[in-house]
Amino acid sequence: MAADIRLLDERVAAVRDDVIGWRRHLHQHPELSFQEFRTSEFVRQTLAAFGPFEISSPTPTSVVARLTGAATSGGGQVLALRADMDALPVQEENQFEFASRQPGVMHACGHDGHTAMLLGAARVLCELRHLWAGEVRFIFQHAEELFPGGAEELVRAGVMDGVDFVLGAHLWAPLECGYIGLAAGPLMAAPDVFSITVVGQGGHAGYPHQTVDSIAIAAQIITNLQHVVSRQANPLQPLVVSVTKVAAGTADNIIPGSAEIVGTVRSFDPSLRDQVPVWMERIVKGITEAHGGSFRFDYRRGYRPVVNEPELTERLRAIWAQAFGADRVVEVEPSMGGEDFSAYQQKAPGTFFYVGARNEAKGIAHPHHHPRFTVDEDALAVGVKAFVSAALELLAPRG
């Protein structure tokens, strides 16, 4: 195993500079969800230069590359590795030479790094084809950031057909560079969204008794929605109800006829997830009717929770303990963030893991989706090594 780790380290080191270069190129040229045309073309061209990949585009802005191992004693298993490619509608404030050239669009979540890491893993696994059997399926996914997301679309297109395992990685700002974060079972929540329109009766602000004040009703709704978490849900079950947008009114002397409330609900438990909109609508109905108003309530279910398959996750923990050292593979707590990687986990045992990207000594400490977000580029080699070491062990020749 020590010789294998040395060989792996040598191959990862050999692609390190290219991986950083790919990440910087992608960072300069970000594209929003469902618009990743240049990004997907860059991925196709880069893969085509590596070797005998079978490359396809299941959707206009995604890429899937299939590679078969050359080991003589085959096992026939299929491992899927996934990276997301889309950027966010954020105006970058970093002053890097490779800062975004697209006004109002930025890789503020690390997807440029995810794509670069998977390209690096593809090249190394191609060079080491003689050491593994079966198939690696590299999924370069569009539109993770925008519901309904690209993962569900790719699953419907058949990219998971015949897959035995699926892995996905996220460069993770809360975790120090050099560490791998793992958790068996629930990792990321289901991110549902809601919209409430309170309909009152507008009028002059000096004569409120002649109106049905939609803002006053909305304020009570916002306050009472917190009772869903604090007084109706089991306190031992993780749940978040957050109001993130309130819109109403046009002038200081006009009570508006309607007010809009928008927000998100995050949960893990399926039965709780079903119950929350029932509780919410009951609160909204009671408050609006008590004050003579009416309402429209729209609740949309987002991605499923990301739940890591325990047996696969523990296998990976052992693999990466050997590859990086046991002290570098750490347990992470579940997050109330959402990820459409969960769509792949409906088709095969899957593990989503974190690659530490934080380095306060270098000033790399801003959170995801921040206009000054970035990653420690040393983390990219960690991600490549994690993907490759997992593939070499999971697809090791039989006997």
pLDDT, tens digit (0-9, with 9 covering 90-100), for 26-44 = 999 999 999 999 999 999 9
Q: Are 273 and 192 in contact (CB under 8 A)?
A: yes
Read off the pLDDT band of 71 (50, 70, 90). Answer: confident
Distances (CA, A) of 347 to 19, 286, 344: 30, 42, 6
Q: Are 178 and 328 in contact (CB under 8 A)?
A: yes
Distances (CA, A) of 187 to 74, 99, 131, 331, 351: 33, 31, 32, 11, 9
pLDDT, tens digit (0-9, with 9 covering 90-100), for 331-384 = 999 999 999 999 999 999 999 999 999 999 999 999 999 999 999 999 999 999
**Could you tell me the pTM of the whole model?**
0.94
Q: Is 261 helix (H, G, I), strand (E, B) or coil?
A: strand
Nearest to 340 by CA among 84, 2, 35: 84
Domain 190-300 has CATH 3.30.70.360: yes
Q: Tokens 């304020």 label which residue?
A: 219
pLDDT, tens digit (0-9, with 9 covering 90-100), for 282-296 = 999 999 999 999 999
Q: How high is the pLDDT of residue 73?
A: 65
Distance between first and last Cα of the chain = 16
- The Cα 31–Cα 331 span in angstroms is 33
Q: How high is the pLDDT of residue 76?
A: 81
For the chain, the domains span: 2-187+305-394, 190-300
Q: How high is the pLDDT of residue 288?
A: 98
- The Cα 86–Cα 83 span in angstroms is 10
Looking at the annotation, which residues are catalytic? 86, 144
Q: In the CATH scheme, what architecture does the domain 2-187+305-394 have?
A: 3-Layer(aba) Sandwich (3.40)
Residue 289 tokens, joined: 């009717």
Q: 302: which DSSP letter?
A: -
Residue 263 tokens, joined: 């927000």
